Amino acid sequence: MAKRAVSITPQIADLAELLIEDIKSRQLQPGDRYFSTAEASEFLTVSTSAANRALQLLARRQIISRQQRRGAFILTTPDTTEHLLLHRVHFLVHPLYLRTEGVGNDHILLGMQSELPGVHVQISFLPQGDEVGLVQQLISQALGADTTDGFVLVRASCETQRLVSGSGLPAVVHGSVYPGIRGLARLDRDMWDTGKILTNWLLEQGHKRFAYFVRQIIYPGDHSTLDAISAELAGEGFTTDRLTMRGLPSDIHASIAEIKTVLDTPDPPTAIICRTRRMAEAVDEAIKQLGLERGKFDITFCDYFARDKEEERYAFAKPVASDEEIGHHLAKLLLAQTQNSIEEPECVEVPVVLQVPGRLGS
């Protein structure tokens, strides 16, 4: 039996796929004996720990049955395995985003729960200090359990996405996937169109100078929005000095102070695109503190989150799907991965439409 080439950083999903290819190539049938951990380690040329996790993943997908002292046996052939139901979904999000931007709000969870009856959807807060440590612990617990857990990642770090991708567990990113990471389904708003429609509306208002305020931690979707803003301005003949970009800290007072340095100039940007509604409010406060004429400014934002049905004061890019519908999509993306087929997971991009104060029902 030929051995596989050594992988410096083997991912569990990749190792599981190699084992599935082996089962198919040997035409093993239900009831046939399969590798022990030591045999799988030798075949894959990886550590026994990595081989054990790959076998755990096959057992979770009900391809093999592992019995103490007896070893592993083929349970079903890979092409005929029925989908495996989820037991629990970890919705991983930083507390700040849930509190200020509504990511993971009740409507999203309700939508997920309606698609996953009987499945426990659990919000797990990512700590600021040891995000990776928590995720490693959750993955280890999930792989060692007899049931199947899934993950929804919200603005998680690149390392967290890589860890979850490598685990082979069902997972979907609510946002953008970092370059170079594969094997993760994703759902995101159309961030390019977000930048495009907001910029075009601001151009229609006659503005000549623009500002784009984002978080200090920039995610892949922010790049798409920035590229769209730059493309629209270039198309209208604007030079690069007409656009100012700043990364704002999470502290609201520090954000206002930073915004004031941008606006307190002889010819400040009057067309403002903010990543979040909270930033839009900070811009409003900065304008007030500087004593500037509010009517000269148009403030827009990218992230829509209706809080207490308050009347919106800013133009924004609104997803055509409601929060509950987004929850449905997230759940369906997870369920699709419980099928045995190891294919590239699906990506769903939610279209956005412009909403302007006074025309919010349009």
Q: Show the DSSP H helices in the chain as ranges.
A: 12-25, 37-44, 48-60, 95-101, 106-115, 131-144, 158-167, 191-204, 220-235, 252-263, 277-290, 323-336
- Residue 11 has a pLDDT of 65
Contact indicator for 101, 175 with CB cutoff of 8 Å:
no
Buried b (16+ CB within 10 A) or exposed e, 303-328: bbbeeeeeebebbbbbbebebbebbb
- Residue 102 has a pLDDT of 54
| pLDDT tens figures, 343-354 | 667 889 999 999
Burial of 359 (0-12, 13-18, 19+ CB in 10 A): exposed
pLDDT at 46 over 60: yes
Cα end-to-end distance, the chain, whole Å: 66
- Cα torsion for 286, 291, 292, 293, to the nearest 10°? 120
Alpha-carbon Rg for the chain in angstroms = 24
Per-residue confidence band for 105, with pLDDT thresholds at 50, 70 and 90: low
pLDDT at 33 over 70: yes
Contact indicator for 92, 85 with CB cutoff of 8 Å:
no
- Residue 360 has a pLDDT of 45
Distances (CA, A) of 6 to 11, 19, 164, 272: 12, 14, 21, 52
CA-closest candidate to residue 65, choices 49, 78, 81, 76: 76
| pLDDT tens figures, 225-248 | 999 999 999 999 999 999 999 999
Which one is predicted more confidently, 283 or 106? Answer: 283
Which one is predicted more confidently, 235 or 336? Answer: 235
For residue 72, what are the β-bridge partners? 34, 66
What percent of the chain stands above pLDDT 70? 86
- Residue 2 has a pLDDT of 40
- Residue 138 has a pLDDT of 93
| pLDDT tens figures, 155-194 | 888 999 999 999 989 999 999 999 999 889 999 999 999 9
64 phi/psi in degrees, rounded to 5? -125, 160
Contact indicator for 150, 121 with CB cutoff of 8 Å:
no
Give the mean model confidence (pLDDT) for residues 202-207.
Answer: 98
For residue 71, what are the β-bridge partners? 67
pLDDT at 108 over 90: no
Q: What is the DSSP letter of 5?
A: P
Which one is predicted more confidently, 186 or 75? Answer: 186
- Could you please report the per-residue DSSP string of 25-46? HTT--TT-EE--HHHHHHHHTS
Q: Output the pTM of the full model.
A: 0.75
Structure tokens at 224: 């798409």
CA-closest candidate to residue 219, choices 280, 134, 164, 153: 153
Domains and CATH numbers, the chain: 12-80 (1.10.10.10), 88-188+323-350 (3.40.50.2300), 191-319 (3.40.50.2300)
| pLDDT tens figures, 278-330 | 999 999 999 999 999 999 999 999 976 655 456 678 999 999 998 889 999 99
